[in-house]
Every structure is written in C-alpha cells, then in structure tokens.
Amino acid sequence: MNEHTNLPGLIEKNLPKELVALMQRVATLAARRNQTLYLVGGVVRDLLLGLPNLDLDFVVEGDAIGLAKELAQSTGGKLTTHTRFNTAKLRLDKWSLDLVTARSETYARPGALPTVKPGSLKDDLLRRDFTINAMSIRLTPERYGELVDLYGGHADLRHKLIRILHEKSFSDDATRIWRAIRYEQRLDFQIEPETLRLLKRDIPMLDTISGDRIRHELELELKEEYPEKMLHRAWILKALGKIHSSLKGDTWLQDKFLQARATASSGQELAGLYFALLTYRLTEQEVEEIIAFLRPTRQTAIILRDSSQLQTVVKELAQKGLQPAHIYSILHGYHHTALLTNYIAFSSATARNAINIKLYLEKLRFVKTALTGDDLQAMGIPPGPQMQELLVLLHNARLNGEVRSRQEEEALVREWLKE
C-alpha cells in the first residue's frame, strides 16, 4: 500500500461485480443531478486494508434524499429517510446503501446530539471519529477513484494508529472512547499516544452518555470476534468501570469467553452468554443496577437475572446422590442461556453442580412422558389437580428412569390407581 494505491483496482478486486456496477450507477445518477458522490468511512478503511466490508456509506454533496428517491425508482427496494439529517437508507435484496448529505456538526455541550448543517465533503470528514475512518473515495465519473485523505488516515493505517481528528473529539462524543478501543483491538492497532492521553483525560465524559448509547457500544463490542480483548483494554482504561464499578475485564473473563465460543450454538446465544458472563460476578443488586442503566431487551434482562439467581440455586446441586427428578426441579424454568452461563462459570469441570447442569441441559430438559392428560382420562382419571399431580409424578418417574416406555408408564399409573 503506498501513495499511489490503485483504488479503482482495489474496488474491482474486493467488491462484488454487481455492487461495483450499482455504485457506478449511483455515481452517474448523482453526476446527472450535479452532485458529487463519495464512498466514505469503514468501507474505505477496509478496502485499503484488504478486509471484507460490504456496508457502503456514501456522502453526497447535495440532497441525499432526492438522490436516493430517484435511485429507488429504478432499483426498487425499501427506502427509509431522515429529513432532520437529510440521510437515506436503501435496502435492496442483497445490499443496503446509506446515503448522507455532506454536513458539518457542532456540539452544544458534551454528549449532546450534534447540531447539523449542510456542508462540504471536508466538513463531513471532520465530524468523523478517527483519521482511518475519515477518508473517502471520489466516485463521480470525473476523477473516479481519487482518494480524499485530509487528515492523514492513509499514513495512520500504515502505522497502525487510531487517532482522533481534534482535541475535543472525546468530550464532544465520549462513545468514541469505546469505538477507539474496538478498532484498536479488532485491527491490532494502537491508540496513538496523544489520542490516548486525551482518552484518559476524557474518561469522566462517559457520564454524559445515556445508558442506551453505551449499551449500543457494548453490544457492538460483543459482536466482535474476540470481545474479551476490548473489555480487557476498556477495564484497564477505566471505561468499563463507568458502566459499573464492579465489572472486570480480567483473565477469568478471557477464559470464560473462550469457553463460551466453544459452547454457543448461534451468534445470538453467544452474545447473551458474553453479556451474562460479564455480569456474572456481580451481586443481584448490582445486576439490577446494570439493567436499570443499560435497559437491555426484556430477553437479555431475563438472562442476566436468571444467571445471577442461579448461582445460589445451583449450590443445591452439589449434594451427593441427587435423583435426576430433583435436578430437574431445581433447574427447570430458568433461561437456557443462563444455565449455560452457570455451566461455563463453574471453575472446575469436575464440580458436581457443573456435571448436573450439563445433565439437565443435554438430557433431562428433553424428557417427556409418553402418556398425556387425554390418556390418563381414558384410564378413568378425571381432569383436575389430581391428574396434574399424577402427570408430575409420572414425569419424575420417567426422569429417574423408573419407567422407560409407554407400557411401563401405563402399568405404573394402574398401580397408583389400585393404591
């Protein structure tokens, strides 16, 4: 990679043909409307790094919504627009495109939403977080493929540095502290020394950010390949402590995240596991404080609460000689991800409680009786609390292996009826 990097070549090589064609179509349309079009942000960074990225962000000098509407007439797709910022998102079958009107931003006070005004490409690049994210590629046919790099982003990419654009960047928007850590750890870069000094100085500015915005940043971290690296760095830099002073990004967490990746069956489950492991060592009261501040989805809140409560409950599993039905009665009703969290969190693989959680997760939770309420009714038992009780007893017998087939279940019920 050098000053003469052949960007049209990189675009051809790294982006799917259809997407390049679509991009050129947008550029031609923009030119016809006398608007200059640029590709900006993450995709430019990743093109230069040779990393995959299909999230196309465009900056238009001029009306982005008008351009997106005209484009949508020929491409179809779902168009969403925001008139306040003059931005548009066009979702097509395979891709989605973000088009924004070049704008300048000012912050009335730290952490406030910015005041925006239409501006030039230069203004638009200046409002961005880091030099490596503040480069753009001109797409307009005239001078197609020209790199616009006003803040030395290309050099910082080469030197693997995360650098803010101005001294007030973190205080204007302290979520950039989390973003700096995310890019640094994801790309294996370093936060440039002066940026690091300002980041440390502005850690208290994280208090100006709402819980919802912090949660959004945390969720982005948890979608990364190795979130424990970011949480460790955020812990050392005291950003993690701004979410809750009891959170730790230590080696325990690193070890558990590794196990979580080996255990989870889907990306969604993994994100839940990560979150619950992060809050696992907090008290129930502290977990409530985190939920009140970050306001996660109802589902995530259940996982965090269940994981926390289960810690007390699973202690019962350490007793010797527990019958499967007893294990079932202890663990039944808790969220699956919370059970997995507790399984992973138990330090020793030989701990009896861990073995019992595993037994529950792999076997007991799937155990069903062959006989249903209808079958019992056919055997002469009227519906009601007594039938309910019999079904539970039958389920327990099945869990404990006392009955193994429909015939054995029927025989057991007949025996009970005799009694």
Which residue in 55, 167, 194, 207 binds ligand ATP (CB under 6 A)? 55
Q: Are 291 and 304 in contact (CB under 8 A)?
A: yes
- Told to check if 153 binds ligand ATP by CB under 6 A, we report no
CA atoms within 13 A of residue 68's CA, in its CB half-sphere: 27
Which residue in 133, 136, 185, 195 binds ligand ATP (CB under 6 A)? 133
Q: Find the shortest distance in angstroms from Cβ 129 to ligand ATP.
A: 4
Q: Find the shortest distance in angstroms from Cβ 362 to ligand ATP.
A: 36
Q: Please report, as residue ranges, which positions from 92 to 131 form the binding site for ligand ATP (by CB under 6 A).
A: 128-129
b/e map of 192-201 (b: 16 or more CB within 10 Å)?
Answer: beebbebbee
Kindly tell me which of 94 and 315 has the beta carbon lying closer to ligand ATP.
94
Q: Are 293 and 245 in contact (CB under 8 A)?
A: no
Q: Which residue number has the CB closest to ligand ATP? A: 42
Q: Are 224 and 186 in contact (CB under 8 A)?
A: yes
Which residue in 15, 23, 41, 413 binds ligand ATP (CB under 6 A)? 41
List residues bridging with 335 in a β-sheet. none
Which residue in 42, 62, 110, 241 binds ligand ATP (CB under 6 A)? 42
Kindly tell me which of 185 and 307 has the beta carbon lying closer to ligand ATP.
185
Q: Please report, as residue ranges, which positions from 178 to 197 form the binding site for ligand ATP (by CB under 6 A).
A: 179
> Positive or negative, the Cα torsion across 192, 194, 197, 198?
negative
What CA–CA distance (Å, rounded) separates 334 from 312? 13
- Told to check if 57 binds ligand ATP by CB under 6 A, we report yes
Q: Please report, as residue ranges, which positions from 375 to 394 form the binding site for ligand ATP (by CB under 6 A).
A: none
Q: Find the shortest distance in angstroms from Cβ 403 to ligand ATP.
A: 55
- Told to check if 156 binds ligand ATP by CB under 6 A, we report no
Query: Taking contact as CB under 6 A, which single stretch among the options 81-89, 175-183, 284-292, 322-330 is the one that binds ligand ATP?
Result: 175-183
Query: Taking contact as CB under 6 A, which single stretch among the options 168-176, 190-198, 231-239, 323-331 is the one that binds ligand ATP?
Result: 168-176
What CA–CA distance (Å, rounded) separates 250 from 247? 9
Query: Taking contact as CB under 6 A, which single stretch among the options 173-181, 237-245, 298-306, 354-362 is the one that binds ligand ATP?
Result: 173-181
Q: Find the shortest distance in angstroms from Cβ 112 to ligand ATP.
A: 13
Q: Are 54 and 92 in contact (CB under 8 A)?
A: no
Q: Please report, as residue ranges, which positions from 247 to 276 form the binding site for ligand ATP (by CB under 6 A).
A: none
Q: Find the shortest distance in angstroms from Cβ 133 to ligand ATP.
A: 3
- Told to check if 154 binds ligand ATP by CB under 6 A, we report no
CB under 8 Å to 370, separation ≥6 — which residues? 405, 406, 409
Query: Taking contact as CB under 6 A, which single stretch among the options 25-33, 169-177, 239-247, 298-306 is the one that binds ligand ATP?
Result: 169-177
- Told to check if 173 binds ligand ATP by CB under 6 A, we report yes
Residues that bind ligand ATP (CB under 6 A): 41-42, 55, 57, 128-129, 133, 173, 175-176, 179
